[in-house]
Amino acid sequence: MKPPLIGITTGYEQHGEAVVSLGRRYICAVERAGGVPVTLAPLQEQRLVERYVHQLDGLIVSGGKDIPPALYGEEPLPETDPLAEERPVFEMQLVRLFHEMDKPVLGICYGCQLLNVAFGGTLIQDIPSQVGNGVKHRRQSSQEPHARHVVSIRQGSLLSRILRANEVEIVSSHHQAVKQLGTHLLVTALAPDGVIEAIELEDARFFIGVQWHPEMDPEAEATHRLLRAFIEAASGNENR
């Protein structure tokens, strides 16, 4: 059986000429799990977006800066650093189309937030000022090691069946998070301070967002289980 083609969305920066980028860790994570990574630059034509969806077997929405608050009906806080709308608008189209075709979707960090906004949810724009500093959700400088903390997994969820654990330690690098859930989304993991760390779409075959960075923790058992389950779903081999 051919390995599945996995689309991975890219960063999009407008500094004079627009530049798209993707951290190599995402590519390595898909390769290691048995998929073929395909980088996806933002497109504007609906018919071309639909071709992406028809030709790919699964989708990863990668990490990035902040989603423009206008996309979920809010004004930006001073701490918010929104990216250009081209990227999230494109990704929301992709996510909805993948869901319509019952193809697996995995959102990572920003990607988890994007899944929520795509289905009508809202975001905490800045955890330190809106929630507090009870849990370190990101490092303060590039000289520090990445932040780590434990998350508790909701039993009975698809995520719990995949990870086979009540809690896991994760690599964290974010200052925003899911606030109000989008339609038919469920909370499946929480940080000790109550910040939502994972969501999934009710009754979907595989539609999961994790607020952490599995690609930054390649040797972790939780990373292996999550990415293998995603690739198996994209291959049509998951246990029903």
List, by residue number, the catalytic residues. 109, 213, 215
- Closest by Cα among 126, 120, 96, 116 to 186: 116
Alpha-carbon distance of 237 to 152, in angstroms, equals 27
Alpha-carbon distance of 142 to 130, in angstroms, equals 24
Retrieve residue 195's tokens.
């910040």
Q: Are 4 and 36 in contact (CB under 8 A)?
A: yes
- Would you list the DSSP string of 102-131? T--EEEETHHHHHHHHHTT--EES-HHHHT
Retrieve residue 126's tokens.
């800045």
Alpha-carbon distance of 132 to 150, in angstroms, equals 17
Q: Are 151 and 157 in contact (CB under 8 A)?
A: no
- Would you list the DSSP string of 177-236? EE-SPPTTEEEEEE-TTS-EEEEEETT-SSEEEESS-GGG-TT-HHHHHHHHHHHHHHHT
Alpha-carbon distance of 7 to 91, in angstroms, equals 11
